[in-house]
Chain A
Amino acid sequence: MEQPLTQHINLDDPPAIDAYQRVGGYAALIKTLKEHTPMDIQQQVQASELKGRGGAGFSTAQKWSFVPMGADAPHPKYLIANADEMEPGTFKDRLLLEGNPHQLLEGMILAAYAIQADIAYIFLRWAYRRAAALLRKSIDEAYHAGYLGKNILGSGWSLQLHLHTGVGRYMCGEETALLNALEGKRATPRAKPPFPAVSGLFGKPTIVNNVETLCCIPSIVNNGAAWFKGLGRGKEGGTKLYGVSGRVNRSGCWEFPMGITVRELLDHAGGMKSGYRLKGFLPGGASTDFLTEQHLDTAMDFASMAAAGSRLGTGTMVILDDATCPVGFVHNLQHFFAQESCGWCTPCREGLPWVEKILLSIERGEASAEDIELLHMHTRFLGPGHTFCALAPGAMEPLQSALRFFKDDFDQHITEKKCPYGNHLHR
């Protein structure tokens, strides 16, 4: 099984530039700058059908294709690595950042070359301090090696790359809020259109790609699009970092071919801890719909997960076991989302705290059937198209599916006027 993303990862001793180069690192960059035009790289990524690994699964090459190219294009153009990994249950980018930072840098430089960017930023989650230190060191090394800076490898093309650490807002993972934050403004989302590819950071063409997406690029360039496509199980190519957390025997994050089944992933995590049964799971982070046992044989790719009624999201699964109260579980998620709302639009700013409070009252046995109705109303009115960005619709995904799959649990809280799981929340 090929593991291009993780094969050289070493968490104890992350490869410095020499070690990275010894295993073929920066070869893709050297080859590209010698032999390929920016459009060559765009076409190669287009042919690989790489989809963004940040959660939405949008075609990477198509996103790039909106960037104005040629002599008349506005400059500077920007390439940004979205490393603001704050989705609850998601820790896949961290592995890449802490295990092999140069792989990200090489991917970024290649992507920047493809869109002819002049400046690149890594927008890193504040709490990833280990990654920050590593990236700083790695960026210095790349400058010294001539992979960054003016006239890279004599190509005539220059790129400046900076590390920017956020202050710990989930909102900054939304690409336009990230741009505002990077500009020193409040992290509220922007109106689209215009899209960042046309008018992004400081009003210039900008591409924001997820860390894992960017890390896929060196191997695509090295091995070709057909190879990349062939890595996947089904129609969607490449490998994917999958994670499992919850009451399993071995939680963690691993690289597998795109499209392995839920069951395979759970098996890899060693199955449920003894004494616990699987009640449901969020397949791709906190903002995806619950799936249950009936979906164990569903492939974990974008299309299959959508067909099953959820989303692949970040591919990092969160397990709900039979001893954990689903209401408390969802309440905890909603507490996070309510707190991370940026406060820009009414439904999200005012709706999420209300949802959180209702869930708490249900958990405490202080709710009525009308409260369930209010939750249903919120899942509709905080859905896509009603709010300014995708934060609240994402928050509603686990809630709406919990209301469906775990209806009995909700009803039991209401009728018994207490949490049947014995939860006593007093927040």
Chain B
Amino acid sequence: MATIYIDNRPYEAAAGKNLLETCLGIGLDLPYFCWHPALGSVGACRQCAVKLFRDEKDDKGKLVISCMENVKDGMRVSISDKTAVAFRAQVIEWLMTNHPHDCPVCDEGGSCHLQDMTVMTGHDYRRYRYKKRTYENQNLGPFVHHEMNRCIQCYRCVRFYHDYAGGNDLGVFAAHNHVYFGRETNGVLESPFSGNLVEVCPTGVFTDKLMKDHYTRKWDLSSAPSICQHCSLGCNTFAGERYGQLRLITNRYNSEVNGYFLCDRGRFGYPFVNSDNRVTRPLVRGRTVEAVDEESLTARLGELLAGPKLIGIGSPRASMESNFALRQLVGGDNFYQGLPQDASYLAKMVTDMLATASTPSLKEIEAADAVLVLGEDIWNTAPIMALAVRQAVLRTAGEQARQPLQVPAWNDLALREAMQEKKGFLANLTVVPTPLDDLAAFALREPPDTISRLGFAVAHAIDPARPGLPEMTTAMRSVVNAIAGALRNARRPVIISGVSCYNEGIIKAAYTIAAALDAQGPKARVAYVLPECNSMGLTMMNAPPLESAMADVRSNPGSTVIILENDLYRRLSEKWVDAFLDAGKNIIVLDSMNNRTTERAHVLLPAATFAESDGTILNYEGRAQEFIQALVPPTNIRASWKWLEKMKRLRTVAGNGQEYHPDGLLRQLEATLPQFNGIARTTPPHDFRVNGQPIPREPQRYSGRTAMLADQNVAEPRPPQDLDSPLVFSMEGYPGIPPPPLIPFYWAPGWNSVQSLNKYQREPGGALREGYPGVRIAGEAGSGAAPVFTDIPEAFEPRKEKWLLLPQYHLFGSDELSIYSPGVHRLAPQPYLGLCASDANDLGLSEEDEVFLWLDGKAWAFSLTVPKGLCPGIALLPAGLPGMPVPEWGSWVKITSTEGEDADETTNGSKIF
């Protein structure tokens, strides 16, 4: 620690940090633009200038740029020095010479860092009287709006987009006061992290294009802490509501998880909530389908639930509360996962691994000094993890480069020149190339079994006690040894794998490498990416897979099947699902979106989305995090767990069932399934108050409360009540900073933009003042006996006229809910079948030719693509696109160049599209 004097007052500060972050950490207001806690310092904007004095006798001092000054013990600086104050105001005046002052029509207006800093410096009178420079804007695609005239040239956008996130299509053009930030030409921003520009930009150059469709001032949003629903990482978000619509998703800082950034699927994937395809009313299927009132619904449900047997199908996209409420309703023996056997088996294997392996948080992945990715295309299945891996690779190189030169870690400009193109260690072993390859020391394209074998060979090279491969080519051996060496020499190695290859050997190999590294003492961490937001939680409930429910339904012909937020037609083949739904006498479906499964419901209940309900989900590392209701849906829409509670009350003696809040359900979950111990601590209970006050969802600046509904009734309606969380639908309540899981927005006096986050942290870029939201309930290395795997798969051999069918995940397209976002839909690929060039050639086909995939005796026609690097013998099909067949992934399939060449099978074949 160091003592520094700011305006003659002593402060304790950490030596080696920069002066700007230190001042902000102390709570002093010092304006800045180009510095960002995650991006470091470059000294470009000159906004954070202060006076630095040699010693206490020096009364003249010199102007320094605080973001470029190292904090040293005894340092004396002044923020309030007259020259420094005048210079900072002058910097604003300069920046404003060309700024259009169009705040009233700017999306950023009122929540703008440039406005805040302008006010902070006191600049208020314009002396520049010449013409302003103007620019032409670009169309950057469906997500990000561009308005270059507002630019103040802080360079943050390119530093995030290119330097931090690795995007190559946004850059700086021209020079002097005509520098331009954009693409070479109009076009969709290529980076899946482009939405962060909206938050990184300190003014209104880059704004949220989705919000333009339903714009509202950001302080007019009623917001709640939320969790992203679109992959297994559990990034923290804010969900903002106005007029009953979900209007904005922004990043919610969690030092352990997503830090400052979200991927574009997470930020722009929410429009399903406002979609026309929502289930909005309870429907009962008689001779016709009818929307029913509560009374007849209750009666109908009562009949169905009175049946001899209830069978529950859970869901990896439903909350713990809902899955558990279903389990409670139907009984543990009648609760099924809602995942097919293969996916369920692999997910179970992952949870078993995590019982004895230590799994890294995203923050820990960023801190890794060697990373091995085994089989998982994390760029598409877990984008923010890919971003974390990128930081790990760059940081490791940065550390090595900066230390001999004594460059401080925060000095991004010097750091990048010093490290140049050097990179830390990454080996990316995947089926097809991914954008992470650019960073990788080894980027190998192999079939899943070969990836698994390589993994086992690496484990053997690290620890010869592990089984190895009988023979390897020299080239292979040298790759294996290099990877093993890098991991062995690393202090914080991370292995990343997952289930998307449908290959258990990969999962075992990843675990085995970590175990081999831990032979000399624990240091390795292994992360497994799972497919959906609550895959981990659902799997930990240890229920049997979907297929097992078939036998149960068939042997209990009168049973009622209750399907929770799960479109079974995305899980198994149409043939199987049809048979299953035919077998169930009564089908009750709870879901938020209409889909093929809801079409088959005898009773369809409108389920609330994450934005309309409270719920807890477990991310890939077993971190329980709660999303809290942001908006009040129309009366008929309820959280699934509320519907299930209602059903439970109907099934037990009428009116005798206990009503639960989410925290009560979680406590009951802990009591019933001890593997969830600790989950009730995720969020303060529903009756939690600070100083007797609830937490307001609306900021102090919220406007229009009395006018919003005045067209219907001039009397201000009573605000909706929230009995399930400590938050209220009101501006009134505790005005301070609530505990981390309950923070609904960032705001501080004088800090109206997202940068007010500084005030919520212990220090800029550090933890929130009271830690981080969420509780790890799995994935911290347990004490059980570590499994030992010796079943190395056989080497992959292409087969004659058969292909191994594997899913290709697409950030935009593979996820069930985000596809309702028009932008996501636009960026999703068209259906295709991928074969390597030589296989395509053998079939006499070339790119874009029609090719036929045979599933269950039916031929499906696809357009052929020829992905670079794909190995012979493998066929790729995009996963999860609407209207695609649901094959058995990892099985061997027949592919033909014409529809009718094989007499046996064409008899059953039919072309679907």
Contact = CB atoms under 8 A, between A and B. Distances in A.
Interface in B41-62: 42-47, 49, 62
Given A191-B413, A203-B401, A354-B97, A345 B45 contact: yes
B209 to A, nearest CB: 27
Nearest to B131: A357
Interface of A: 169, 171, 180, 186, 190-194, 198-199, 202-203, 338-347, 349-354, 357, 361, 370, 374, 377, 381, 385-388
Interface in B72-88: 86-87
Contacts of A186: 172
A370 B127 contact: yes
Interface in B167-187: 172, 174-179
Contacts of A193: 405-407, 414
A349 B155 CA distance: 13
Contacts of B172: 186, 343
A385 B155 CA distance: 21
B855 interface: no
Interface of B: 42-47, 49, 62-64, 68, 86-87, 90-91, 94-95, 97-98, 127-128, 130, 152-153, 155, 172, 174-179, 401, 405-407, 411, 413-414, 417-420, 422
A171 B95 CA distance: 21
Contacts of B401: 203
B820 to A, nearest CB: 41
Given A194-B407, A386-B63, A346 B46 contact: yes
A199 B95 contact: no
B420 A202 contact: yes
Contacts of A342: 175-176
A361 B419 CA distance: 47
Interface centre among B94, B127, B152, B411 (most CB of A within 10 A): B94
A78 to B, nearest CB: 13
Given A346-B44, A351-B94, A388-B43, A339 B176 contact: yes
A344 B44 CA distance: 6
Contacts of B153: 343, 346, 349
Nearest to B47: A346
A388 B418 CA distance: 18
B413 A190 contact: yes
A341 B45 contact: no
Contact of A346 (B45, B127, B128, B407): B45
A350 B86 CA distance: 16
B418 A385 contact: no
Interface centre among B63, B64, B176 (most CB of A within 10 A): B176
Given A346-B91, A354-B94, A374 B405 contact: no
Contacts of A198: 405
Contacts, number: 113
A343 B413 contact: no
Given A191-B414, A350-B98, A386-B63, A340 B44 contact: no
Contacts of B413: 190-191
Contacts of A352: 176-177
B44 A199 contact: no
Contacts of A385: 62-64
A203 B86 CA distance: 37
A386 B87 contact: yes
9 contacts: A190-B414, A191-B413, A191-B417, A193-B414, A343-B153, A343-B176, A352-B176, A361-B130, A387-B46
Contacts of B406: 193-194
Nearest to B95: A346
Contact of A374 (B127, B177, B179): B127
A340 B176 CA distance: 6
Contacts of A354: 94, 97, 128, 130
B46 A386 contact: yes
A342 B405 CA distance: 26
A342 B177 CA distance: 8
A202 to B, nearest CB: 5
Given A352-B177, A353-B177, 20 more contacts: A190-B417, A191-B68, A191-B414, A194-B406, A194-B407, A198-B405, A199-B405, A199-B418, A338-B176, A341-B175, A341-B177, A343-B172, A343-B175, A343-B178, A346-B95, A347-B91, A350-B177, A351-B94, A381-B87, A385-B63
Nearest to B33: A346
B99 to A, nearest CB: 10
Given A190-B414, A193-B414, A350 B68 contact: no
B133 to A, nearest CB: 8
Contacts of A338: 176-177
B420 A203 contact: yes
Contact of B179 (A349, A357, A370): A349
B90 A377 contact: yes
A119 B708 CA distance: 71
Contact of B95 (A203, A341, A350, A388): A350
Contacts of A169: 175
B624 to A, nearest CB: 43
B98 to A, nearest CB: 7
Contacts of A347: 46, 90-91, 94
B127 A194 contact: no
Given A194-B407, A203-B419, A350 B174 contact: no
Given A203-B419, A203-B420, A345 B176 contact: no
A370 B98 CA distance: 20
Contacts of A357: 130
Contacts of B64: 385
Nearest to A351: B94
Given A345-B46, A385-B62, A194 B177 contact: no
Contacts of B178: 343
A299 B43 CA distance: 38
A171 B413 CA distance: 18
Contacts of B86: 381
Contacts of B152: 346
A344 B419 CA distance: 21
A354 B155 CA distance: 21
A353 B406 CA distance: 37
Contacts of A349: 94, 153, 176-177, 179
Nearest to A339: B176
A191 B176 contact: no
A352 B413 CA distance: 24
A341 B44 CA distance: 13
- For the complex of A and B, 9 pairs with smallest distance between CB atoms: A350-B94, A343-B179, A191-B413, A191-B414, A203-B420, A341-B176, A194-B405, A357-B130, A343-B175
A344 B1 CA distance: 34
A404 B62 CA distance: 24
A381 B174 CA distance: 25
Nearest to A366: B129
A169 B422 CA distance: 28
Contacts of B414: 190-194, 199
A388 B64 CA distance: 11
B409 to A, nearest CB: 13
Contacts of A346: 44-47, 91, 94-95, 152-153
Nearest to A343: B179
A68 to B, nearest CB: 10
A197 B838 CA distance: 52
A81 to B, nearest CB: 21
B44 A388 contact: yes
B771 to A, nearest CB: 34
B120 to A, nearest CB: 16
A223 B852 CA distance: 84
Contacts of B127: 370, 374
A258 to B, nearest CB: 32
B148 to A, nearest CB: 13
B807 to A, nearest CB: 39
A15 B98 CA distance: 53
B418 A194 contact: yes
B177 to A, nearest CB: 5
Nearest to A385: B63
Contact of B44 (A202, A345, A350, A361): A345
